[in-house]
Amino acid sequence: MTRMTSAPGLTVPQGAALTIGAVLGTGVISLPSLAAGIAGPASILAWLALILLSVPLAGTFAALGARYPDGGGVSTYVRMAFGTKAATMVGWCFYFAIPVGAPPAAMFVGGYVGDTVGGGRTTTLVTAAALIVTVAVMNLYGVRISGQVQLGLAAVLAGLLLITMAAARPQALVSNLTPFAPHGWSAIGPAAALLVWGFAGWEAVTSLSSDYRNPRRDIPRATVIAVVVIGVLYLGVVLSSLMVLGPETASSQAPLADLLAIGLGEPARGVTTVIALLLTVGAINAYFGGGARLGAALGRDGAFPRWFAKGSGAGEVPRRSLAVITALALLALLTTAVVGTDLQASVLLVTGSFTLVYVVGTAAAVRLLPPGTLAHAGAVVSLVAVTGLLVLTGRHVLLGVAVALTALAYEAAFSRRSNTPNLASPSRTLSERIAP
């Protein structure tokens, strides 16, 4: 029987807002210029391909979350499909990608703040650290509180982005789309691999599936809303950038700021700092919330030390796991400050890890979802597509592979599976939360 409860939980609008924040994230701030630098106006084809891929991919993870609501998210599905070793590797790969990805995400918006108030790299780093700490504090009070905050952020953000596009529209020129593929058609593939950063997130919110009031009903509804909103906003911002800024899109450090300046004048540039802040808080908030719950579930299942397990129950707050993610993110930010890591390289390393998680997660969906259903067909399409993206990612997948191998070594040395639920054959607790 589908879980029905009067207890507080994530609503459809809150779940949609968390999903939008996780996926839209900082991609709309920086990726239009980065992708244009790789493929020129032809990068719009890479954007369109990723948006179309989001439909079956989002549907796949929504179907899994609706059927098997659990804090372990993708790790739980992989355990049910392929066993504990595969689940441990995927769980580690996803969990440790979050603190690595948080610093570049926060530094993107730090750059906007630096452009607005001055201070250069110091302002960028201080802003990034403040954002990480702020989001951690938001999640200390539980996913329902952060979901309420996220709903307000998403509404303001969508409005600001629509204003930006409308203001710049009179300056749009079709001629700015030529030459369409200045770096050749083969550049579209590398651009698509980079854009995975802007579409990762569908898997993150599956770790919040058990916090919905009615997962089987509400998760698909929230996902449909998120897919439509994300597709419209991404395409609108990218087309506006390419048609208004033209070749300058590739060299722009702040394409949204440039669009607003052209449409409303230079004083409007400051609005983009607000947009950047909202985007970044939304993205890190969703990932910290889902990642913290995943870490607690991994502790519960023996893939992490048992210390992590506190807060793994539905409605509980996994503060220990959240503290580890926050500490690792701040450490990664400090390393970036000292070493001077290139942000694009950091983005590609993180997208390599996320793509690896997508491949194994969609393979689990092919095995778990009922054959002959639309959800199963979407899982098959998603598996083929993300496997292609993994090939395009190339050597940047090596970080994820290294983390996965470390997880396998941990599993071999410290396995405690005999004392933990066997989710390959779901426990009574999990079975009670899913429809037959």
Q: pLDDT tens for residues 351-373?
A: 788 888 889 999 999 999 999 99
What's the whole-number average pLDDT of the chain? 81
> What's the pLDDT at 330?
94
Lowest mean pLDDT segment, chosen from 116-120, 140-144, 234-238, 289-293: 140-144
Q: Where are the alpha helices (DSSP H) in 25-42?
A: 27-39
> What's the pLDDT at 411?
83
**pLDDT score of 429 more than 70:** no
> What's the pLDDT at 132?
92
Q: What is the pLDDT of residues 84-131, one digit of tens each?
A: 889 899 889 989 988 988 888 888 778 778 777 777 788 888 998 999
Confirm if 382 and 53 have CB atoms less than 8 A apart: yes
Q: How confident is the model at residue 19 (pLDDT cuts 50, 70, 90)?
A: confident
**pLDDT score of 1 more than 70:** no
In 3D space, the residue among 259, 296, 389, 286 whose CA is nearest the CA of residue 21 turns out to be: 286
Q: What is the pLDDT of residues 275-318, one digit of tens each?
A: 778 778 877 887 888 888 888 888 988 889 899 988 777 667 88
Name the residue with higher pLDDT: 70 or 203.
70
Residue 314: strand, helix, or coil: coil
**pLDDT score of 176 more than 90:** no
Mean pLDDT of 214-235: 88
Tell me the whole-structure pTM to 2 decimals.
0.75
Q: How confident is the model at residue 80 (pLDDT cuts 50, 70, 90)?
A: very high
> What's the pLDDT at 321?
93
> What's the pLDDT at 343?
65
> What's the pLDDT at 368?
94
Pick the CATH number of 16-70+101-342 from 1.20.1740.10, 3.40.50.300, 3.30.230.10, 3.30.70.20: 1.20.1740.10
Q: Is the dihedral of CA 411, 140, 2, 372 positive or negative?
A: negative
Confirm if 294 and 72 have CB atoms less than 8 A apart: yes
Confirm if 160 and 275 have CB atoms less than 8 A apart: yes
**pLDDT score of 262 more than 90:** no
Q: How confident is the model at residue 2 (pLDDT cuts 50, 70, 90)?
A: very low
Mean pLDDT of 30-57: 87
Radius of gyration from C-alpha coordinates of the chain: 21
Q: How confident is the model at residue 145 (pLDDT cuts 50, 70, 90)?
A: low
- In whole angstroms, give the CA distance from residue 236 to residue 257: 15
Mean pLDDT of 174-187: 89
Q: Which two tokens stand for residue 436?
A: 């037959």
Residue % of the chain over a pLDDT of 90: 16
Supply angle C-alpha 296, 299, 304, rounded to 5: 120
Confirm if 203 and 65 have CB atoms less than 8 A apart: no
Give me the long-range contacts of 76-80 (CB less than 8 A, separation at least 24): 76/297, 76/423, 76/430, 77/206, 77/361, 77/364, 77/365, 77/368, 78/360, 78/361, 78/364, 79/301, 79/423, 79/424, 80/364, 80/368, 80/423, 80/424, 80/426
Q: Which residue has the tokens 């793509």?
A: 355
- The backbone torsions φ and ψ at residue 103, rounded to the nearest 5 degrees and listed phi first, read -60, -50
In 3D space, the residue among 344, 16, 431, 406 whose CA is nearest the CA of residue 202 turns out to be: 16
Lowest mean pLDDT segment, chosen from 51-65, 92-106, 156-170, 233-247: 156-170
Confirm if 229 and 20 have CB atoms less than 8 A apart: yes
**pLDDT score of 21 more than 90:** no
Name the residue with higher pLDDT: 9 or 66.
66
Mean pLDDT of 238-250: 84
User: Any bridge partners for residue 212, and if so which?
Assistant: 10
In 3D space, the residue among 371, 379, 39, 420 whose CA is nearest the CA of residue 238 turns out to be: 39
Q: How confident is the model at residue 253 (pLDDT cuts 50, 70, 90)?
A: low
**pLDDT score of 327 more than 80:** yes
Q: How confident is the model at residue 430 (pLDDT cuts 50, 70, 90)?
A: very low
